[in-house]
Chain A
Amino acid sequence: MAAPLALLLIVAVTIRAALFRTSLANLISERVEVVSPLNAWKRVVEGLALLDLDISPYSGDVFHETPMVIYLFHFLMDYAEITFMLADCLTAVALYLAVKDYNKQVFRKQKFALEADRIPMDCLELIRSPTEMYYIPLKVAMFYLLNPFTIVSCVAKCTCGLNNAVIALFILSTMRGGCLIYGLFTVASAGLYTKLDFALLSAIFLALATYHLSVPDLTPNIGLFWYFFAEMFDHFRLFFLCVFQINVFFYTLPLSIKLKEHPVFLIFMQIALIAIFKSYPTVGDLSLYMAFLPVWNHLYRFLRNIFLVSCVLLACSALFPVLWHLWIYAGSANSNFYYAITLLFSVAQILLVSDYFYAFLRREHHLTNGLYLKKKDGSEATLVLK
């Protein structure tokens, strides 16, 4: 198993290194879908430049990274590309190991359940086989490393790659520690974009938190916030800010109650929801939760509209640059075009996540109640949510 992983890492690094050498790197690093005001590399460089001028990087509204990033790149400025490639590899390896552990757990649990005859007889086709699960960790690593979203994010030197690495390491440590609560806290801190670690610098933290929460920078991105708050009436701004920001945190508690048996799926759901509802999302955030999709391969038969959703996601990814060009450079379209695409992109993501959630819950239901349910009169029953 180590050999394919090593090969994968080499391929991934080669692709990135090649892209760094082309003129595409500059183009990509300017894309609003790839970088946000929070994690643009340009702003990291700006922060360092400010530091060189003896100005606090936090005195302006350009730099919003954590102090750790400054320290890191103060020394690694010349090795930034390698750092970002390493971060991606680290994420992939961490996810690889975490999923491997998870699969072992799943298999063990399934074995216990089978031995205890808790699984209905007609559900045998839902039972997961070791051969099917064998390649899942590799697929996860591959989904992360070869995902175009991850690649462009890395080539743009978007610091969300570093955040992803931190989150992946947290997940790994959670798996190894096996503690659910710890995992929850980890994800919650991931929700705060891994900034709780540096809460010592409370002023900076507060400034960063306000920046996250009050959404002052309306630069377009793939999220829901920018156009909404650009068009918002001033006296409703605070209300809608609360409503929108609460979405990020709101689902944590009910989800952890509902999924108390399945922490990894909980983590997946939480990361996905944060990526959708956060104020400055980038495609790098998407790539992290998309890396988990191979883990839920077995849910495929219960997914309702995966085809539609993947088509929409693909189409939107292609349309982003097109409509951006029409609006910003050609002047033949206006902001509504780009907004429509971001809206569609968000809808697709929501459908994707809720579809997986639905499929997961449905499989669990089948695992307790049998796969082929019958009505009282013996005819084939349909399952509904009530």
Chain B
Amino acid sequence: MAARRCLGLWFFLITLCVVSTGADVLHTTPVTGTESSAAGTETVVARELPEAPSDPGEHTAAEPTREGEQNDRTRGGEQTLGQPTREEEQEQEKTREGEQTPAQPTREEEEEEEEQEQTRGEEEFTREEEEEELTREEEELTTEEEELTREEEEQTREEEELTTEEEELTTEEEELTREEEEQTREEEEEQQTTAQQEEQTKRWEATELEEEHVHDAAVPPLAGDPPAADPPSPPPSKDDFQEELVIRPLHSGDIYASFQFRTVWDADFMGDQKVSHYRLFPKSLGQVITKFSVRELHISFTQGYWRTMQWGQPYLPSPPGAELWVWFQDTVTDVDGTWKELTNVLSGIFCASLNFIDSTNTVQPSASFKPLGIGNVTDHSFLRYATLPREIVCTENLTPWKKLLPCGSKAGLSVLLKSEKLFHSTFHSQAVHVRPVCQDPQCRTTSMELRQTLNVVFDLHTSGQGKREWSLFKMFSRTLTEACPLASSSKVYVDVTDNPQGEQFELSPATPLLTQAVVLGDRRTYSVYDLTQQASFGSSRSLNMLLRWKNSHNNVVPPVMLRPLLHSERYVAGYGLQAGEIHTLIYNHHPYRAFPVLLLSAVPWYLRLYIHTLTVSSKGKDNRPSYIHYQPSKDRERPHLLEMLLQLPPNSVTEVTVEFERALLKWTEYTPDPNHGFYVGSSVISALVPSVVAMDTNSTLDRPLFSSFFPCKEEASYFMRVYTEPLLVNLPTPDFSMPYNVICLTCTVVAVGYGSLYNLLTRTFQVDEPSPGLAKRIANVIRRFRGVPLL
């Protein structure tokens, strides 16, 4: 019953949020004090400032973070410079309040000012209050609810979640009431009222509720950035959620869609106080991070192989199958034990076979996997890396992944994530990245960042019926109707770099917003649809982008795709089941620049590598790696780990070969389909690649001369990770139907040896005296009785 009530509340909140965003924020009525009303309206004005036509150049400064900055540890969390609405709005507010703000305030700075203002307890309390009041309205809402409950399964699951949450809430209720009194006093203070006012304007829920509120002092900051206020006693924790979708038409005619959902939370998971109040950050992950002292967690599930030569570089590379790498806090003593437990827990959370990660497929890379978040950790004994190349990714992995999103699959971009379409694709990859990021440029405090990404490539022929015409509906069988109400930013980008004048394809509905960014070393142009703007949806109230190519007349040749500068292939050479050779080819397509790459391969123990057969050659010459980290395998304990630092000469192919021997395993160690072969996980190539932008040294086109002599540091090179193909290697197999026969036969042979030796050792030679026949013996017995001489 409680669950049902809670569910009702949930849907009501969502409905309200839709209503309130739709009906604009002017509905907001001041609740706290009289003097706040003026500020409130002003903010509304600020919000209504037209963002779209303002200045596209402003957005070129930085895009929301891309994987190109993976290795950039310092700017983990604050890459939101170009975020238009909220930042601008807040900036104006700040200026109005007479505070000294820099021209482009980063989110972190603002957050620092605002930090500690709003207690966790307060939020929970007001939620609870609302909930009680809402129960009255629940009956009325049931009709609405039914409309909304289309996907019954997911709801039932959520119901359960909500129930547990609710239980927790009730237990903390008493504590919260105490806090509430204190809170009310504080709310009276004048200083706070302004801040309170700001928040009101940004809230997304309807105001009717507030009017009924008895304890209306505490206002739930359910959306956006909470206001700046003096800190009450409990620790502050702010969270922020952003979502975006990038659509890139590929030269092959396929289309690449990349979702990113980013939740940042200023909670200190490793602090003394236990984090127990979760809002946007998924509790299941938060608890895992706390319990296992995880510093960083990166997990990806991928179905299909990314074809670099056809598709270019992905925004976030991932190897086929499952990949998991974790940096633990240096307080962890038993890293292996923790790792084992963690993989089992994650296996449960993501419904994946991560529990098959054990010491035989776990390695500790020494150089290839550095922490992506802040923290200068060098001791790689706290790092664990494992891949499961055989893992099949499907709906059961997608559903728990979606459940980690604040809006689930109910609103925002995540409504597009329908498994029947996502898995009907050539490439599908979903990932979760958790890392600590800086809250402010000084990096005094850290936040936890959760990034959920999903990349999918739809095939021209299977999904697109051979027509180069893509729409959201065609890709996902859904259209967009709203942003996630909990998201501070919600955007759709379409890569129109190859289509500056619309000569390749037309994009409808057209958007006036353009943004430029250097992505993976290349300057790209994107059309932007801001879902938080009602205008994006047009009159039909739904956004269904349509990309239609104009190649009916064939004279328009699509521009040749820029060859990826770094590219790799791997295969097994040799024949027979005894030995073999792993060849890894690394291509450097840069015309004049050599650059170093780190190559990591983890090879299972049953392919016994011989490191003395390792050869590295480029352009027919021996290319000695400047650094080799090799860990030999131990049978049934740990895999081989080979890490090398290679210098790739310009415009060359570097070939790395190493020989191996195939082991015969115990019959129980084979997979159920032993003759299918055994998978060897992808090799990982990590590199700082000179960017294409920097390659163009002659370009003085729209830049002043003084700026272009030395290559700009920012764009000179970019970090890239390339995963090679996983290998499928056949091993010799015993006859699986033979165990009894083999045991019998071999034991017989041993018994023959034992028996003959036993005979010879224990017995002596004797003359064979044939014993008398039976009749004779009986006759002799009788004769003995009679006393007659024997026969």
Chain A positions near chain B (C-beta within 8 angstroms)? 30, 32, 42, 45-46, 48-50, 53, 55, 59-62, 216-220, 224, 226-234, 240, 243-244, 247, 251, 254-255, 258, 273, 276-277, 327-329, 334-336, 339, 343, 346-347, 350-351, 354, 357-358, 361-362, 365, 369, 373, 375-376, 381-386
Contact = CB atoms under 8 A, between A and B. Distances in A.
The main secondary structure of chain B at its interface with chain A is mixed
A385 B764 CA distance: 5
B753 A247 contact: yes
Given A61-B632, A219-B664, A334-B735, A354 B760 contact: yes
Given A329-B578, A339-B742, 11 more contacts: A46-B610, A46-B611, A48-B612, A218-B664, A258-B761, A327-B577, A328-B732, A354-B753, A365-B765, A383-B768, A384-B765
For chain B, which range describes its interface: under 10, 10 to 19, 20 to 34, or 35 or more residues? 35 or more
8 contacts: A254-B761, A258-B761, A328-B578, A334-B733, A336-B738, A383-B767, A384-B766, A386-B763
B576 interface: yes
Contacts of B576: 328-329
B612 A46 contact: yes
Contacts of A255: 761
A244 B750 contact: yes
A373 B753 contact: no
Given A49-B612, A224-B746, A354-B757, A59 B632 contact: yes
Contact of B767 (A60, A228, A240, A375): A375
B605 A234 contact: no
**Residue among B661, B667, B753 with most chain A CB within 10 A:** B753
Contacts of B628: 53
**Residue among A62, A339, A375 with most chain B CB within 10 A:** A62
B759 A230 contact: no
Nearest to B637: A61
B765 A61 contact: no
Question: 6 nearest interchain CB pairs?
Answer: A60-B632, A49-B612, A354-B756, A385-B763, A381-B767, A231-B742
A376 B772 CA distance: 13
A335 B760 contact: no
**Residue among A216, A227, A386 with most chain B CB within 10 A:** A227
B641 to A, nearest CB: 11
Nearest to B765: A365
Contacts of B661: 219
A339 to B, nearest CB: 7
Given A350-B756, A373-B767, A224 B750 contact: yes
Given A382-B767, A383-B765, A231 B753 contact: no
B749 interface: yes
B148 interface: no
Nearest to A377: B769
A371 to B, nearest CB: 12
Contacts of B746: 224, 227-228, 343
B668 interface: yes
Nearest to B614: A49
B633 interface: yes
A240 B763 CA distance: 27
Contacts of A351: 752, 756
Nearest to B745: A343
B608 A232 contact: no
B282 interface: no
Contact of B750 (A229, A247, A354): A247
A109 B664 CA distance: 52
B786 interface: no
B630 interface: yes
B764 to A, nearest CB: 7
A228 to B, nearest CB: 4
Given A61-B633, A335-B732, A233 B739 contact: yes
Given A233-B739, A327-B732, A361-B760, A219 B768 contact: no
Contacts of B743: 228, 231-232, 240
**Residue among B663, B664, B746, B766 with most chain A CB within 10 A:** B746
Contacts of B579: 30
Contacts of B753: 247, 273, 276-277, 346, 350, 354
Contacts of B745: 343
A216 B605 CA distance: 12
B768 A381 contact: yes
Contacts of B634: 60-61
B231 interface: no
Nearest to A57: B632
Interface of B: 575-579, 605, 608, 610-612, 628, 630-636, 661, 663-668, 732-735, 738-739, 742-743, 745-746, 749-750, 752-754, 756-757, 759-769
A17 to B, nearest CB: 24
Contacts, number: 172
Contacts of A381: 767-769
A51 to B, nearest CB: 11
A185 to B, nearest CB: 21
B206 to A, nearest CB: 65
Contact of B635 (A217, A327, A350, A361): A217
**Residue among B605, B636, B735 with most chain A CB within 10 A:** B735
B757 A251 contact: yes
A255 B762 CA distance: 10
B644 to A, nearest CB: 11
Contacts of B633: 60-62
Contacts of A49: 610-612
A82 B591 CA distance: 50
Given A30-B579, A226-B664, A328-B578, A386 B756 contact: no
Contacts of A231: 667, 734-735, 738-739, 742-743
A351 B755 CA distance: 11
A354 B759 CA distance: 10
A349 to B, nearest CB: 9
Nearest to B755: A354
Contacts of A361: 760, 765
Given A231-B738, A343-B746, A45 B632 contact: no
A230 B665 contact: yes
Contacts of A358: 756, 760
B631 to A, nearest CB: 8
Given A216-B635, A231-B743, A335-B732, A62 B769 contact: no
A328 B768 contact: no
A220 B664 contact: yes
A198 to B, nearest CB: 21
Contact of A335 (B668, B733, B765): B733
Nearest to A276: B753
Contacts of A62: 608, 610, 632-633
B611 A336 contact: no
A248 B743 CA distance: 19
A376 B473 CA distance: 109
A184 B765 CA distance: 26
B603 to A, nearest CB: 12
Nearest to A254: B761
Nearest to B608: A62
A332 to B, nearest CB: 13
Given A55-B632, A60-B632, A230 B666 contact: yes
Contacts of B735: 231, 334-336
A59 B734 CA distance: 29
A335 B577 CA distance: 12
B768 A382 contact: yes
Contact of B752 (A277, A335, A347): A347
A254 to B, nearest CB: 5
A218 B734 CA distance: 11
A281 to B, nearest CB: 13
A278 to B, nearest CB: 13
B610 A42 contact: yes
A49 B642 CA distance: 14
**Residue among A226, A230, A240, A376 with most chain B CB within 10 A:** A230
Nearest to B739: A231
A345 to B, nearest CB: 10
